[in-house]
Structure 1
């Protein structure tokens, strides 16, 4: 947790005192936690995670508290549901789907496929579903970020297609 607190101070310019207020403790306790002289209680973790409005700090705190079983924040520069982070996740999912598609063999009829070949097709399908899900997340977060209605964007795209067809 020492590095999470230190990174929060460097990233956001916050002070030990403001972290202490968020953690419902004293500035000297925060200082001792940062030096590794004091263990952090589960109540302190809980207070840091629930009282902070900083998504990156909350995510990193939860990752520390869960001993690595939750996902850390992707980036220190942007908040966790920023379209840039969703875009990176979408690119990752697309690469995984492309890899699965390249290694999947669709040449046989289903009745002649082995169990392993069918499982590979199912895995490929789930990778493609991940792309669809992450793509929708990207559209939702980007529209929210730029304050645009997704239906208006769809209408504009459909009008563009109609004009291109006429030409």
Structure 2
């Protein structure tokens, strides 16, 4: 939680006193949390999430409270499911997949691969699945954003492929 509070202070200029008011606690308690001298209670998490009207801060608090099971805020410029943010995440995932593919060795048959080599292949497969997932999210959210039916996009793609095959 330390980094979430520090990020909020840096991002908005909010004081420890203001954060303490949101958390329904004291400034000294917030200071001790920030310095890792005190653990944050679930009541304090709840107060921060319900008393703040800053979506970025609330999302970060919820992500921290859920130990990463909710979506963190990646950008202050766009909301978390905006196509622009998903595009940025897709690019990151693509670079990770490219690096993983560069480091993956497919020259051996699977029965002759070591445990590490098999794990490397599995990691590469996982990175590629992340690209597919983010790509599908990008398509879905972009269609939603521009009010386009995903089926029409798929039909247009199929027509393009048919024309390319004819040429």
Is residue 84 from structure 1 mapped to residue 88 from structure 2 by the alignment? no
Residue 29 of structure 1 corresponds to 21
Measured on the aligned residues, the alpha-carbon RMSD in Å equals 3.6
Give the TM-score normalised by the residue count of structure 2: 0.69
Distance 2:122 2:42 in 1: 41
Give the TM-score normalised by the residue count of structure 1: 0.69
- CA 1:3–1:124 in structure 2 vs 1: closer, same or farther (change >3 Å)? closer
Distance 1:96 1:45 in 2: 33
Aligned residues: 150
- CA 1:45–1:83 in structure 2 vs 1: closer, same or farther (change >3 Å)? same
- CA 1:5–1:148 in structure 2 vs 1: closer, same or farther (change >3 Å)? farther
* SS in structure 1 at match of 2:107: coil
Residue 112 of structure 2 corresponds to 112
Residue 125 of structure 1 corresponds to 125
- CA 1:113–1:36 in structure 2 vs 1: closer, same or farther (change >3 Å)? same
Distance 2:155 2:96 in 1: 31
- Single out whichever of 52-61 and 151-160 deviates more from structure 2: 52-61
Distance 1:87 1:144 in 2: 14
- For structure 2, the residue ranges without an aligned partner over 5 or more in a row are 31-39
Distance 1:122 1:2 in 2: 37
Deviation at 1:97, TM superposition (A): 0.7
Residue 93 of structure 1 corresponds to 93
Native 8 Å contact 1:96 1:127 kept in 2: yes
- Single out whichever of 88-97 and 53-62 deviates more from structure 2: 53-62
